[in-house]
Amino acid sequence: MTTDVIGPTSQVNPATNPEVTPEAGNIKAPKEAAAAKPAPSRDRNIYAVVDIAPETQAYALARYSRSAASLRESVGWISNQKAADFLETFYFAYGHKSIADMAHITLALENISVLAAVVIEDEPLWDGQERSTRYQDFSKSRYVVPGELESQPENRETFTAAADYLFATYNALTKELYGHLAEALPRPDDMDPAAYKRTLNARILDVTRTLLPYATRTSVGQITSARVLERQLSRLLASPYQEIRAIASEMKEVCKQPGFSPLEIRLQASLENLVAQHPEAAGPLKELAGVFSATEPAPTLVKYAEPSPQQAQAAAGLSQAARELLRGIEPDNSRTVHLVEGTPPLLEAVTTLLYRYSDLAYHQVQAVVLELSPAQVNEIYDLAHAARGRHDGWLREQQSGYGRIYDILIDAKSMQDFFRHRRCVQVRQEITPRHGFVGGKEWFELGLPAQTVASALDGGQVERYDRTMRETAQVVSRLEAEAAHYLLPLGFKRRALFKMDDAQAAYMIETRSGVNGHFAYRQAAYQMWQELERVQPEVARWVRVTPFEQSDFLNR
């Protein structure tokens, strides 16, 4: 196929491209292919399609929707180069963005910080998994030192000393509390020893994981459409964190290179054996191996992904507005969960825009916004649009009109579990130590049997937990923002807003209140139900909530 496409703004010349008519989206097969094609079958035909390069898959499905040919015929006719030429034209030049929804790319992001993972996963249409701090001991993988400290040797030394201190406490308390818990809960005769050990370890890690800093190394596997990936890359490339910008650049590059292919590895091993047995067939076998060689996941679809200045520009104006309007107000941290009252969509959007760039509770910001004049409301709202570029959408904070708005303040690690619920609008405030942490005695009482807590009080583990958190917070206060965020333990609370309908609220409550969940988010999920029951008992009575008091320490 030949086109005169050079870049994203190029146009197609139908005279030189027999597959494209002047009407964008009308794709035709070459005449010779059409002539040889049998009449389409009228019988129902359902089948799966596997082992296709993402961009080829996207092109095949796009052509499939505009052609009478079967998907088998479309896939067989398409080459990688044809897919690239097509995407240059229809995705970039004509802006048919839905085409990229049909190309899905699997990426592994290993040995990155928890902080980076949290930011990477902040996409509404994102699917993936991260290493679990409930089931894995993170003492061996250790932590990332932020690149911002490379030119600050004294601060770097301070950072690593504090991070080492956190991990030393994490290791020591995990071992010591395991002994206390095993003493309080002897293994039942009918329980497998390995299962007993795993269960007790998980219960202890539920408590000690909050000592881990945001710098802790983790790994993420994600599966996204190319459209989501492009938007994700644009956001990450504009991040204020050096590590995240570097990760985004590497993600973009690996999409242009042959990926990891287990099929190719197995085939190469088999072919080597065949060549050894039949050296006369080495040429054809090598040609066969090339057919199954790994392909580039999305070289065309990510090539124009560039840093988006929208969020940074909006943040500058809205942060200034929040500082001026909310000056002198101390955060109300009296509630873990607050189901706030709604306001007209414009006022809700303005409240959310200011909430995002403050550390106040939503109802505190809302009270200020309700006192503003219409001109002031419009001025703040306009700040969100002033930064919008030609290809930018509206900011997430402008999504309004949802029936339920939950303002949640909870430890950062449990908050990550709430972040996994994506059928809602999430608005996250910045990482900060200002909200404090749950004290060791209360934290241990939430997650461990009374006998174990008593032993931890006598053994000094509770006091050591509190001291470590306080001393780390003092070090955090002396570091610059980005580096300081990496050092903050995940036990410090984080605030976020969740907008949703009743069905999503019910799903989150039912999922997160179950007895096998982590005690902190179980408690928060139950409070979500209590808040819903307070304002709408007719709806709350149908939610299958599990009361927080129900717990079995030997059952997961």
Amino acid identity of 164? D
4-8: average pLDDT: 35
- Per DSSP, the three-state class of 216 is strand
Judge whether residue 37 has pLDDT over 70: no
Half-sphere exposure of 112 (CA within 13 A, CB side): 26
**Across the chain, what does the average pLDDT equal?**
86
Residue position matching structure tokens 């998907």? 71
Indicate the burial class of 512 (C-beta count within 10 angstroms; 0-12, 13-18, 19 or more).
buried
Question: How far is 236 from 244, CA to CA, in rounded Å?
Answer: 6
For residue 12, the model assigns a pLDDT of 39
The pLDDT-based confidence of 337 (bands split at 50, 70, 90) is very high
The residue with greater pLDDT, 25 or 209, is 209
pLDDT digits (tens, 9 = 90+) for 342-397: 999 999 999 999 999 999 999 999 999 999 999 999 999 999 998 788 778 899 99
Estimate the crossing angle of helix 461-476 against helix 153-184, to 10 degrees: 160
What are 337's strand-pairing partners?
Answer: 408
The residue with greater pLDDT, 2 or 52, is 52
For residue 239, the model assigns a pLDDT of 94
The pLDDT-based confidence of 65 (bands split at 50, 70, 90) is low
For residue 115, the model assigns a pLDDT of 97
Distances from the Cα of 444 to the Cα of 167, 187, 465, 524, angstroms = 18, 21, 10, 16
**Where do the domains of the chain lie?**
14-102, 262-291
Among 65, 127, 105, smallest CA distance to 227 is for 105
The order of strands in the sheet holding 493-500 is: 337-340, 404-411, 493-500, 425-428
Residue position matching structure tokens 């690996």? 254
Name the token pair of 175. 């071992």
For residue 270, the model assigns a pLDDT of 81
The pLDDT-based confidence of 285 (bands split at 50, 70, 90) is confident
Taking CB atoms within 8 Å and a gap of at least 24, the contacts of 134-139 are 134/202, 134/205, 134/206, 134/209, 134/518, 135/198, 135/202, 135/205, 136/205, 137/174, 137/201, 137/205, 138/170, 138/209, 138/212, 138/216, 138/217, 138/218, 139/167, 139/170, 139/171, 139/174
Judge whether residue 18 has pLDDT over 70: no
pTM of the predicted structure, to 2 decimals: 0.85
Judge whether residue 307 has pLDDT over 70: yes
Judge whether residue 16 has pLDDT over 70: no
Judge whether residue 200 has pLDDT over 50: yes
pLDDT digits (tens, 9 = 90+) for 80-137: 556 556 555 555 444 556 777 778 888 899 999 999 999 999 999 999 999 888 777 7
- Per DSSP, the three-state class of 427 is strand
For residue 47, the model assigns a pLDDT of 72
Q: What is the DSSP string of 428-463?
A: EPPP-STT-B--HHHHHHHHS-HHHHHHHHHHTHHH
pLDDT digits (tens, 9 = 90+) for 477-535: 999 888 999 999 999 999 999 999 999 999 999 999 998 889 999 999 999 999 999 99
Q: How far is CA 470 from the centre of its chain?
A: 29
Are the CB atoms for 471 and 165 separated by under 8 Å?
yes
Judge whether residue 19 has pLDDT over 80: no
pLDDT digits (tens, 9 = 90+) for 166-193: 999 999 999 999 999 999 999 999 999 9
- Count CB atoms within 10 A of the CB of residue 288: 13
pLDDT digits (tens, 9 = 90+) for 237-283: 999 999 999 999 999 998 888 878 777 777 777 887 887 888 888 88
Are the CB atoms for 412 and 504 separated by under 8 Å?
no
Judge whether residue 36 has pLDDT over 60: no
For residue 4, the model assigns a pLDDT of 36
Tell me, what DSSP letter sits at residue 3? -
The pLDDT-based confidence of 432 (bands split at 50, 70, 90) is very high
The pLDDT-based confidence of 21 (bands split at 50, 70, 90) is very low
